[in-house]
Each structure stands twice: as C-alpha cells, then as structure tokens.
Amino acid sequence: MTRIAITGIGVVAPGAIGIDAFRAMLAGGDSAVGEIDRFDTTGLSAHRAALVRDFKPRDFIAPMKLRRMNALSRYAMAAARLALDDRREPVAEPAATGVALGTAFGPVQTSVDYMREYVEKGAALAPPQLFAESVANAPGSHIAIEWGFRGFNFTVTQRESSALTAAMIACSQLLKGAARTVLIAGVEEASEMLFSVLDRLGALAHDDGAAEASRPFDRRRNGLVLGEGGAALIAEPVRGSAGKPPHVYGHFAGFGIARDTTATASDWGIGPNALVTAMKAAMEDAEIALGDVDAIYASANSTQHADALEYLALQQLFGDRTPPVVATKGYFGEYAAAGALQIVAALLAVDEQMLHASCGFEEGDASMSIEVVRERRPAALRNVIVNSLSAGGGIVSAVVSREAA
C-alpha cells in the first residue's frame, strides 16, 4: 500500500507522560508494574498492575471540560493533545481530519458507577453525564469536539488488537481520500471490576515462587499484567509540506488481518496458521520479502499459550532466520492503551535505529529457539513487523517502515 507517515506521537503511559519520558523508560529498561493502591486486591491471586501515576489532567484539559470526562476520556484527550503538540505544524484541515480509536474494554468503571447510582437512587436521579461517558466512543467524540475534527470518527473494540485494528482501518480510509489526516489512538483504564474478572479467569500473573511480573517469552511466565493508559498518533499520507516539514517517526507500510476460528472467547487458538497468514498479508501489502524484515515487535504478553503460539508462527514463517524479537509488554502491561504503546515502541525503534530490551525476559524457554533481545542495542531497521493477537481469535499484523517508499 502507499505508506502512511506518523508525524506526531502523544503518550500517557504507566511510568511515562509524553514521548520523551516514554523514550527514556524504554531506554532504561524499567518496568512500570507495581503494587496496586487504587483498589483492594485482598482475596485475589494477583496484586500488581501497570498504572498511570503522576498524571495531571488539568495540564491538558480545561477545568469545566474536565468535569464531564471520565479517566478513559482524560487519558485519550491528553494523549491527543501531546500528539498534536509533537507535530511540528498544525493539522492543515481540521474539517478533513478523522479520529480512529481502539479500546479493549472501554469505560467499565463508569458503567459500574452509573449502575450503582441507578440501583441506589433510581433512574430519575442517576447522573446523566455518567451514562454519556459509559459508551466506548466517548473519548473519540471528545477529541473531535475539542479540535473541530469533522472527518470520520469510529471506535474499535477488538481486545488486545484494538489500536492496531483502528490503525489499519484508518490507513485504508486515508488512502481512499476519505480524510486528509487521522488521529489514531488507543486507550484503556485499569478498574477493580476488570482486574477481578481477569483474576478469576486465571489470566493474571501471580506469585508462584517467582515474584508477580510480566515475563514475555520467559520460561517462568504465568499470566499477563493489566496495564492502562493512552497513546495517540498523527497519521497522514506521504506528501510534501508547504510549511516546515514535520518529523516523521516512521510509516505504516502494510497490514494483514486474520481470524483464528479455533480460539475460544477468552483464550487463543491451537495453531499458528492464522498469525502466519496475517504476517504474510502484511508483508505482501508492504511489498517486502521475508529477508526485508529486520525485527519483530511481538504481541507476547507473558501467558503460556499466547507466547508459545506466536513463537510457533515465527518459526513456521521464518524458520532458523527469524529476526530479533522484542517483547514490550513487560514495561507497561497488557491492554495498556489497547496495544497502542507497542506500536509507539516499534515506531521509536525505527526512528532511533535502536532495538529495545525485552523487559521481563530473563530466563529463556528451552522450547523456543528465537533471539529475544535482552539488551538495548543499535540496529539497522528498515522494516519491523508488529503483531497483535487477541483472545477470541482476532489477529492483526502490521509492517512499520523507516522509508517512505
């Protein structure tokens, strides 16, 4: 496909507010996972998450508007403002600018709060603003209203793959001419209900002799760590600029999508074929060959099943020539910005020509013969594959490229 440039990035992440802080977090190799102090985890098997801290929404949102937004919308609005500020020139045509947002679970806490008020006080006294914020597309609507973006506006809920799916659809619409620019975002909030449900399902990492942590591809991995936050990208087709050219971090060069019909609603499938199909489709769309792929930014989230499935897919596609693999979710957890932070990490790798260390990976799994990057190092990166596997069987792969063509 014609490549789509990323000209601005905004990050509200566990451990980092702003793109420079996020760069530093990745460069330092430090995880943002810590003990939960937002709600009580007594009686649960897990007690740690990657939470956004030191976030001051008043730095990004006017007080009167702030009152009408829940945490999910605040994360998205702040990330959008940071991305727009990061771009070196204003968006040329707000009327032709779209919004594409992904969220795995949306405003769960707001829905809980509204139903509590509804049950306790009745329909007449339940706050209507809570109801308005209980829909998944509220953050995207706030963004469009704030900056006057009147292009298409949609929200995708595709579990772990939400942000990458939103990016895929947004890029296809850009290429059709449906918009001149698109703000692509991913956002997620860690709530008590979501955490407890994932814990009861046995999905979360826990202390089983090794400290509770996210360990992608590590032999001791035993579950994901819940993360939250927001990230936004300014995307536009490659073209000349009448003003000062914006900095281009990298390009979306191709996408592939597949469905694993063997997956259950809360688990991954039983074979690698669907992910192989998605990666092949992404490379074909980007018009590159296997030998043109210089690294994989993996979906690996520290679960036994999903990490093993991704390894099998890489082996099937690349064999003994599998490129270096980077797993980023040890930094900021799973669902954090619904996958957008993983995309940002891949873009920064291409921009800096630097592979990040795989946070949480310390002890290799004897059944996996791939090179998981352990230490940050320089690398010549032309094309990087970004994978996103969703429980339930949704799979999206993308090629992020350094060059415009």
Domain ranges of the chain: 4-237, 250-401
- Domain at 4-237: CATH code: 3.40.47.10
SS (H, E, C) the chain: CCCEEEEEEEEEECCEECHHHHHHHHHHCCCCEEECCCCCCCCCCCCEEECCCCCCHHHCCCHHHHCCCCHHHHHHHHHHHHHHHHCCCCCCCHHHEEEEEECCCCCHHHHHHHHHHHHHHCCCCCCHHHHHCCCCCHHHHHHHHHHCCCCCEEEECCHHHHHHHHHHHHHHHHHHCCCCEEEEEEEECCCHHHHHHHHHCCCECCCCCCCCCCCCCECCCCCECEECEEEEEEEEECCCCCCCCCCCCEEEEEEEEEECCCCCCCCCCCCCHHHHHHHHHHHHHHCCCHHHCCEEEECCCCCHHHHHHHHHHHHHHHHHHCCCEEECHHHHCECHHHHHHHHHHHHHHHHHCEECCCCCCCCECCCCCCCECCCCEECCCCEEEEEEECCCCEEEEEEEECCCC
pLDDT at 240: 57
pLDDT at 128: 83
pLDDT at 19: 97
Below-70 pLDDT ranges, the chain: 240-245
Given CATH 3.40.50.20, say whether it is the number of domain 250-401. Answer: no
Model confidence pLDDT, tens digit, residues 375-394: 999 999 999 999 999 999 99
Model confidence pLDDT, tens digit, residues 324-357: 999 999 999 999 898 999 999 999 999 999 999 9
Identical topology for domains 4-237 and 250-401:
yes
